[in-house]
């Protein structure tokens, strides 16, 4: 189908707001400009935050990425729903091409998940590229998962009902966390929610070119975040960078995968879903017709975005046995 007509003026406004000339700017300056655009679009067009019982920022130890390895800390924002618990938990990992995004920008989204899915949401403020390259962001997210399971009693969490999810680069990191948990004998996961995920940093799937211009995320933008994230280009086929290239995808948790029709990442997300299915992993795959990369966040304007959000909540509730009779 054609691009959803609701998106036409939004896309024009976003494209006009995106800086056309970034040559000579520092990463910090480019990040600030892009965050302004994200605030005016993805944040502003999402629903307001519903009520929850509590939100708290907690410092979590992680490896510092230096040699020899030391220790550092990241912030995990923990959202607790209204109720008595123990609650299921959802490790939520924001997107932004590995180099953009803050937990503040996705605060309302996390509150909505906590409220509607009746689960604790742990939002990970992982360290960003290019200051912290692969595999540091992925290892930060896995450390947050281990911490969540280890501190389950303190957080009023049921450690047998933990899921992971995120969008775009957050979808990549969620898939990688699921792989790491399987490979390392880590905390068991009941579900992985992969929205518009990055799964192939070689940029070899057709939609990278087919949808590479005019739909907000561009082929050039994809190449930029790959360059920021990877120190060694040969890491593009490492399964913890590109989960599509994992030799074995069996034994992973069930997956809810959502792609967008006019997204450069569409084909790699769907290809990863098909590889999961072929490995015996239960997969629910949805393509959002008429959508661009990230427009599922526009719940104030698009009924289909609301439908997508409700489907995600229903999948979380089902995986956690919340609605069983």
Mean pLDDT for the chain overall = 94
- pLDDT number for residue 173: 98
Amino acid 17: pLDDT: 65
Q: Which pLDDT does position 232 carry in this prediction? A: 96
Residue 325: pLDDT above 50? no
pLDDT score, position 70: 74
Question: Which of the residues 41, 123, 163, 168 is marked catalytic?
Answer: 168
Strands of the chain, DSSP E: 54-63, 71-80, 87-93, 120-125, 157-167, 192-195, 255-262, 283-292
Quick: pLDDT tens for 140-175. Answer: 999 999 999 999 999 999 999 999 999 999 999 999
What pLDDT does 18 receive? 61
Q: Confirm whether pTM is higher than 0.85.
A: yes
Average pLDDT for 57-62:
96
Asked if residue 258 has pLDDT above 60, the reply is yes
Percent above pLDDT 70 for the chain: 96
Q: How buried is 8 (Cβ within 10 angstroms: 0-12 exposed, 13-18 middle, 19+ buried)?
A: exposed
Res 114 pLDDT > 50: yes
Q: Six-digit token pair at 225?
A: 């975040």
In sequence order, the 6+-apart residues with CB closer than 8 A to the CB of 15 are: 214, 216
Say if residue 20's pLDDT is above 60: no
Band of the pLDDT at 127, cuts 50, 70, 90? very high
- CATH number of the domain at 7-20+32-319, out of 1.10.150.120, 3.40.50.1820, 3.40.50.720, 3.90.950.10? 3.40.50.1820
Measured CA distances, 129 to 70, 136, 138, 296 (Å): 19, 9, 11, 25
What is 204-216 written as a DSSP string?
-STHHHHTSSSSS
- pLDDT for 236: 98
Domain layout of the chain by residue ranges: 7-20+32-319
Mean pLDDT on 224-229: 97
Active site residue 293: yes
Tokens of 150: 């280890």
Confidence (pLDDT) at 10:
86
Q: Which of 151, 84, 155 is nearest to 120 (CA)?
A: 155
Does pLDDT of 54 surpass 80?
yes
Out of 293, 295, 308, 309, which one is annotated catalytic? 293
Task: Tell me whether strands 120-125 and 71-80 are parallel, antiparallel or unpaired.
Answer: antiparallel
Catalytic hit among 4, 140, 200, 263: 263
What is the pLDDT at residue 263?
98
Q: Look at residue 45 in the predicted model and tell me its pLDDT.
A: 86
Residue 69: predicted pLDDT: 66
263 is catalytic: yes
Percentage of the chain beyond pLDDT 90 is 86
């Amino acid at each position: 189908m054609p691009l959803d007509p609701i998106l036409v003026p939004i896309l024009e406004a976003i494209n006009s707001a995106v800086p056309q000339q970034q040559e000579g700017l520092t990463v910090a300056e480019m990040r600030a400009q892009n965050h302004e655009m994200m605030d005016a679009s993805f944040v502003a067009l999402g629903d307001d935050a519903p009520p929850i019982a509590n939100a708290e920022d907690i410092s979590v130890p992680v490896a510092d990425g230096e040699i020899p390895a030391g220790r550092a800390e990241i912030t995990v924002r923990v959202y607790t729903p209204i109720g008595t618990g123990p609650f299921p938990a959802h490790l939520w990992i924001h997107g932004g091409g590995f180099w953009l995004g803050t937990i503040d920008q996705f605060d309302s989204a996390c509150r909505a998940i906590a409220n509607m899915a009746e689960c604790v949401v742990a939002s990970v403020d992982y360290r960003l590229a290019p200051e912290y390259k692969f595999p540091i962001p992925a290892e930060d997210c896995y450390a947050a998962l281990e911490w969540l399971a280890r501190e389950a009693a303190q957080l009023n969490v049921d450690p047998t009902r933990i899921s992971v999810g995120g969008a775009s680069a957050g979808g990549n990191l969620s898939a990688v966390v699921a792989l790491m948990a399987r490979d390392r004998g880590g905390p068991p996961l009941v579900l992985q929610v992969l929205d518009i995920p990055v799964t192939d940093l070689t940029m070899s799937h057709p939609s990278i070119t087919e949808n590479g211009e005019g739909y907000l995320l561009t082929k050039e933008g994809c190449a930029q975040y790959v360059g920021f994230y990877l120190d060694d280009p040969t890491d593009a086929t490492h399964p913890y960078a590109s989960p599509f290239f994992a030799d074995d995808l069996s034994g992973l948790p069930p997956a809810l995968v959502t792609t967008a029709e006019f997204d450069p990442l569409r084909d790699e997300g769907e290809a990863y879903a098909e590889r999961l299915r072929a490995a015996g992993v239960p997969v629910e795959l949805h393509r959002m017709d008429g959508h661009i990369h990230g427009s599922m966040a526009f719940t104030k304007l698009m009924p289909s975005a609301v439908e997508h959000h409700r489907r995600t909540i229903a999948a979380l509730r089902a995986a956690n046995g919340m609605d069983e009779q």
